[in-house]
């Protein structure tokens, strides 16, 4: 069964369509990165996913259950880390977790063990009895993930969990999420940082202005990129125009641009590179450097969402 299924999922706020006909499935065990710029509709999608918002139209299911109308059942399967989690500042970490465990139907006799386990896992044991009001942002974020895991969910949904953290704090959170994923928990995480998603996820979807504009495995997306390679070749002297005419006729050359002494060539694959170089040399060109340009996921993301 799919961990997540969205069919034509749409949310309108008055005239604004925040989420527009989303079709998306996430299989069990996948670590899915939900990418998009500010205002793209990530949080709105997630709030529908966890039953906080009713869709205007369309279907959303977690493990076959509608999180809005079958919330009590559906909530047994997922834990949610919203972008801002508010704890009771005057209670300790342990007291907050204990209170939340009682709400999320963790059996009373298992509570203490589960809470100790989570405090230990998130390196919070030493501060377990400190008031949460005294916690750093990084500690709060770890506690926010801990609360989502109290009832052993099979799906963990996180809305930009590393926002506002320093590099060390971001790294810690990523490592925790990867290790939760390794235990078999399905992950659905939103972010606008591509490198972060690349590090944690094996599947990605890119949302922009409410619409899903790309979805697939990270491998496929990367394969798609490597087939759109380019070359930058610097040439000495006067031979530029002559070289250009000949390169244009090489099979596999998709585009050509000259700027000063530099020729930029779009090629269908990197196998063409030697042929292009030979052609330039054959036409009397003196090559000073050849650089292969491979677009990064970051480039594609920026291009798709510009
Ligand atoms: N309750 C609401 N009422 C009206 N408009 C809303 C509401 N919630 C979100 N929106 C609008 O819906 C659009 C999508 O917002 P959303 O918060 O889902 O984006 P996001 O991708 O999470 O952005 P960010 O990266 O900034 O968190 C925005 O234009 C936002 O202003
Ligand atoms: Mg958001």
Q: For residue 63, give the CATH number of its domain.
A: 3.40.50.300
- Domain final residue pick, 207, 223, 239: 223
Is residue 271 over pLDDT 90?
A: no
Residue 260 belongs to what domain range? 227-305
Q: Stretch 101-125: mean pLDDT, rounded?
A: 92
Give burial (CB, 10 Å; 0-12/13-18/19+) of 108: exposed
State in Å: Cα 18 to ligand 1 middle: 6
pLDDT higher for 123 or 305? Answer: 123
The DSSP string of 98-122 is HHHHHHTT--HHHHHHHHHHHHHHT
> If you take atom 31 of ligand 1, which residue's CA is the nearest one?
39
If asked whether residues 259 and 157 sit together in one domain, one would say no
| Residue 191 and residue 126 share a domain | yes
Say whether both 145 and 285 belong to one domain.
no
Residues 164, 30 share a domain = yes
Name residue 59's beta-bridge partners. 7
Residue with CA closest to ligand 1 atom 1: 13
Mind listing the pLDDT tens digit for each residue in 115-166?
999 999 999 999 999 999 999 999 999 999 999 999 999 999 999 999 989 9
Greatest mean pLDDT range, 51-60, 228-237, 245-254, 296-305: 51-60
Q: H or E stretch including 191?
A: strand 186-191
206 and 237, same domain (yes or no): no
Q: Quote the number of domains for the chain.
A: 2
10-14, 96-100, 143-147, 264-268: the lowest-pLDDT one = 264-268
Q: With a 6 A CB cut-off, is 141 part of the ligand 1 pocket?
A: no
Prediction pTM value = 0.83
Kindly state whether residues 79 and 189 are assigned to the same domain: yes
Beta strands at 31-35 and 186-191: parallel, antiparallel or unpaired:
parallel
My answer on whether 219 and 245 are in the same domain is no
Q: For residue 81, give both structure tokens.
A: 């880390």
Assess whether 212 and 285 both reside in one domain: no
Domain boundary among 202, 223, 244: 223
195 shares a domain with 64? yes
CA-53 nearest atom, ligand 1:
1
The CA distance from 273 to 5, in Å, is: 43
Mean pLDDT of 103-124: 92
In a shared domain, residues 24 and 147? yes
Percent of the chain with pLDDT over 70: 97
Task: Please say which residue of 223, 241, 276 terminates a domain.
Answer: 223
Query: CATH number for the domain including 263?
Result: 3.30.70.100
Tell me, yes or no, whether 211 and 246 share the same domain. no
Taking residues 64-82, report their average pLDDT. 94
Distance 294 CA to ligand 2 centre (A): 30
* Backbone conformation region of residue 260, classed left if phi is above 0, alpha if psi is from -120 to 50, else beta: left
The pLDDT of residue 266 is 85
pLDDT at 226: 64
* pLDDT at residue 245 in the model: 85
* CB-ligand 1 contact for 191 (6 Å cutoff): no
């Amino acid at each position: 069964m799919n961990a997540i299924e969205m069919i034509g999922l749409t949310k309108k706020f008055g005239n604004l369509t925040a989420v527009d006909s989303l079709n998306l499935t996430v299989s069990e065990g996948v670590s899915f990165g939900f990418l998009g710029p500010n205002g793209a509709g990530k949080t709105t999608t997630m709030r529908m996913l966890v039953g906080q918002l009713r869709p205007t139209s369309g279907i959303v299911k977690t493990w076959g259950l509608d999180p809005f109308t079958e919330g009590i059942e559906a909530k047994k399967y997922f834990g949610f880390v919203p972008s801002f989690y508010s704890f009771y500042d005057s209670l300790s970490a342990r007291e907050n977790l204990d209170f939340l465990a009682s709400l999320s139907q963790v059996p009373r006799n298992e509570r203490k063990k589960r809470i100790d386990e989570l405090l230990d896992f998130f390196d919070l044991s030493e501060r377990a009895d400190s008031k949460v009001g005294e916690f750093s942002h990084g500690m709060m974020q770890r506690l926010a993930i801990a609360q989502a895991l109290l009832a052993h969910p099979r799906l963990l949904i996180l809305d930009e969990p590393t926002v506002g953290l320093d590099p060390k704090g971001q790294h810690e959170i990523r490592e925790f999420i990867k290790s939760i994923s390794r235990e078999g928990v399905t992950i659905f995480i939103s972010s606008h940082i591509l490198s972060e998603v690349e590090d944690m996820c094996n599947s990605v979807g890119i949302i922009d202005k409410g619409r899903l504009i790309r979805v697939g495995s990270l491998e496929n997306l990367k394969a798609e990129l490597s087939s759109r390679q380019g070359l930058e070749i610097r040439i000495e002297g006067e031979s530029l125009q002559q070289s250009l005419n000949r390169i244009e006729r090489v099979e596999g050359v998709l585009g050509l641009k000259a700027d000063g002494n530099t020729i930029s060539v779009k090629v269908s694959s990197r196998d063409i590179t030697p042929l292009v170089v030979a052609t330039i040399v054959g036409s009397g060109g003196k090559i000073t450097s050849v650089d292969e340009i491979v677009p990064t996921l970051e480039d594609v993301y920026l291009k798709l969402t510009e």
